[in-house]
C-alpha cells in the first residue's frame, strides 16, 4: 500500500549494511526539481523502518542538526529511545547525565572525544559510574548518527576504570555446617535457603507462598528479578531444604515465604537480622556471598553450564546454548542436587 503524500518513505540502501533501510521524508525540492530529504534514521528491516516512520509522523522531531545541543539531544533520546531499555539501565544513564553538566549547552557535533573523556575522568566516582557515563555517550552517539548529526562516534575511543576483581568470599564447608547446627537461631533457615537456591536477596524476600509448589513430583519455586533471563524462572528446591520450606509454609501469615512479624520483609530490616546471625555465628559474610558459594559449588561439581545459567537467572554467553539448548525441570533438579556442602 502506498503511503499518503508527505508521509515519508522507507528505502533500501545499497551495499552490506547493518541497518540498510533509510527512513526519510521529503521536505522540499532543489532548483533542478530533485527532492530534498530529511533523514529520520536507519533500520535493520523495512518493518522496523515503517514503525520508526509512524513514530515520527505521530510526533515529528524538529531537529536542526548543526545547532542541536548536548542537552537537547539527550532530552530527545530520553523521549524516543530510553523507554526501550530496562528500568535499572534507565536510572543509571539518567544519573550519568548529571556528570556531563559542562557539555549541556555545547553543539553536539562540536563535542570531541576529549570532552567526553573529561566527564569520565572528573566525575570522582568508581568504575560503575564511569562505565555508565561511557555507556551514555555510546547511546547518544548512535542516536546522533541516526539523525545525521555526527559522522563519527567518538564514544568508541573512551576509557573507564575496569571492573575490579571480586572481593566476595565463599562460605567454607565448616561454616555451612555451623549454620545447620544452629538452626535454632531466628532466621538461620534463611541463610540455608540462600545457600541452596542461589537466589539474590531481593528474590528471596519476594518469594510468595503462591510461588512455591511443594507437592509436585519435583518441588519448585517460581521467582526472580533483575533481567529477562532472571524473571519468573523455575528453580527446583534442593532436597535438603524441602523441610525448611515446608515449615515456612506452615508459619505463613502474610503471603510471603519469609516474613517479619506478619509483614513483608524490607531489605534494610533483613540485612540487620543477617548481620546479627553472622555475629552470633562468628562469620563475616553478606547474603550475596551465598550466591557466589552456590555457583562455585556447582562449577566444582561439573554441573551443566546451561543448567547453572537457568537456575541462577543468567543469560548464557554462547549464542548456540542460549537459542537452541533447552533444559527441562528434571535436568535442573539433577544439577541442583550436585550441591553437597
**pLDDT for the residue 324:** 39
CATH topology of domain 173-336: hpI Integrase; Chain A (1.10.443)
Secondary structure, 3-state, 182-208: CCCCCCHHHHHHHHHHCCCHHHHHCCE
SS3 content of the chain, % helix, strand, coil (to 5): 50, 10, 40
The residue whose grid cell reads 522507507 is: 10
Most distant CA atoms of the chain, gap in Å: 89
Q: Return d(Cα 302, Cα 319) in angstroms, integer.
A: 21
Rg over CA atoms, the chain: 26
What is the mean pLDDT of each successive set of 10 residues along the chain, which is 341 residues long? 81 89 82 79 90 80 79 93 89 95 95 96 92 96 90 94 78 97 96 96 94 92 63 89 96 91 93 96 96 96 93 65 59 95 87
- Angle, helix 329-336 to helix 305-312, in steps of 10 degrees: 90
| Domain 62-164 belongs in CATH node 1.10.150.130 | yes
Burial class of residue 77 (count of CB atoms within 10 Å of its CB; 0-12, 13-18, 19+): buried
Bridge-based pairing state of the strands 35-43 and 263-264: unpaired
Q: Return d(Cα 250, Cα 265) in angstroms, integer.
A: 18
Q: Return d(Cα 222, Cα 269) in angstroms, integer.
A: 24
Extents of the domains making up the chain: 1-60, 62-164, 173-336
The helix (run of H) or strand (run of E) holding residue 11 is strand 9-12
> What b/e sequence results for 166-188 when a residue is b if at least 16 CB atoms lie within 10 Å of its CB, and e otherwise?
eeeebbeeebbeebeeeeeeebb
For every residue of 42-93, DSSP letters joined together read EESSHHHHHHHHHHHHHS-----TTT-BHHHHHHHHHHHTGGGS-HHHHHHH
Tally of CA atoms within 13 A in the half-sphere of 247 that contains its CB: 10
**pLDDT for the residue 322:** 42
Q: Name residues whose C-beta falls within 8 Å of residue 323's C-beta, 6 or more positions apart in sequence.
A: none
Amino acid at each position: 500500500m502506498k503511503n499518503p503524500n508527505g508521509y515519508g518513505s522507507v528505502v533500501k540502501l545499497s551495499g552490506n549494511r547493518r541497518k540498510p533501510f533509510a527512513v526519510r521524508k521529503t521536505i522540499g525540492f532543489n532548483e533542478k526539481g530533485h527532492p530534498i530529504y530529511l533523514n529520520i534514521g536507519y533500520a535493520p528491516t523495512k518493518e522496523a523502518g515503517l514503525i520508526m516512520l509512524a513514530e515520527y509522523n505521530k510526533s515529528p522531531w524538529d531537529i536542526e542538526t548543526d545547532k542541536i545541543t548536548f542537552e537537547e539531544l539527550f532530552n530527545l533520546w530520553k523521549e524516543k529511545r530510553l523507554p526501550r531499555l530496562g528500568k535499572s539501565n534507565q536510572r543509571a544513564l539518567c544519573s550519568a547525565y548529571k556528570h556531563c553538566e559542562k557539555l549541556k549547552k555545547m553543539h553536539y557535533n562540536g563535542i570531541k572525544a576529549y570532552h567526553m573523556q573529561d566527564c569520565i575522568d572528573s566525575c570522582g566516582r568508581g568504575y560503575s559510574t564511569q562505565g555508565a557515563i561511557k555507556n551514555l555517550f555510546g547511546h547518544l552517539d548512535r542516536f546522533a548518527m541516526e539523525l545525521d548529526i555526527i559522522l563519527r562516534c567518538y564514544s568508541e575511543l573512551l576509557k573507564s576504570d575496569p571492573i575490579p576483581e571480586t572481593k566476595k568470599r565463599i562460605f567454607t564447608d565448616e561454616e555451612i555446617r555451623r549454620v545447620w547446627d544452629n538452626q535454632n537461631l531466628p532466621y538461620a533457615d534463611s541463610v540455608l535457603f540462600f545457600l541452596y537456591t542461589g537466589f539474590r536477596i531481593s528474590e528471596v524476600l519476594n518469594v510468595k507462598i503462591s510461588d512455591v509448589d511443594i507437592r509436585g513430583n519435583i518441588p519448585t519455586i517460581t521467582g526472580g528479578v533483575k533481567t529477562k533471563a532472571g524473571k519468573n524462572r523455575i528453580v527446583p528446591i534442593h532436597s535438603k531444604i524441602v523441610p525448611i520450606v515446608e515449615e515456612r509454609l506452615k508459619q505463613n501469615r502474610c503471603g510471603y515465604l519469609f516474613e517479619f512479624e506478619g509483614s513483608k520483609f524490607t531489605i534494610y530490616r533483613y540485612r540487620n537480622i543477617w548481620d546479627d546471625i553472622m555475629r552470633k555465628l562468628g562469620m563475616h559474610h553478606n547474603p550475596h556471598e551465598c550466591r557466589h558459594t552456590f555457583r562455585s559449588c556447582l562449577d566444582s561439581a561439573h554441573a551443566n553450564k546451561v543448567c547453572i545459567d537457568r537456575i541462577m537467572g543468567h543469560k548464557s554467553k554462547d549464542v548456540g546454548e542460549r537459542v537452541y539448548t533447552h533444559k527441562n525441570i528434571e535436568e535442573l533438579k539433577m544439577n541442583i542436587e550436585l550441591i553437597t556442602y
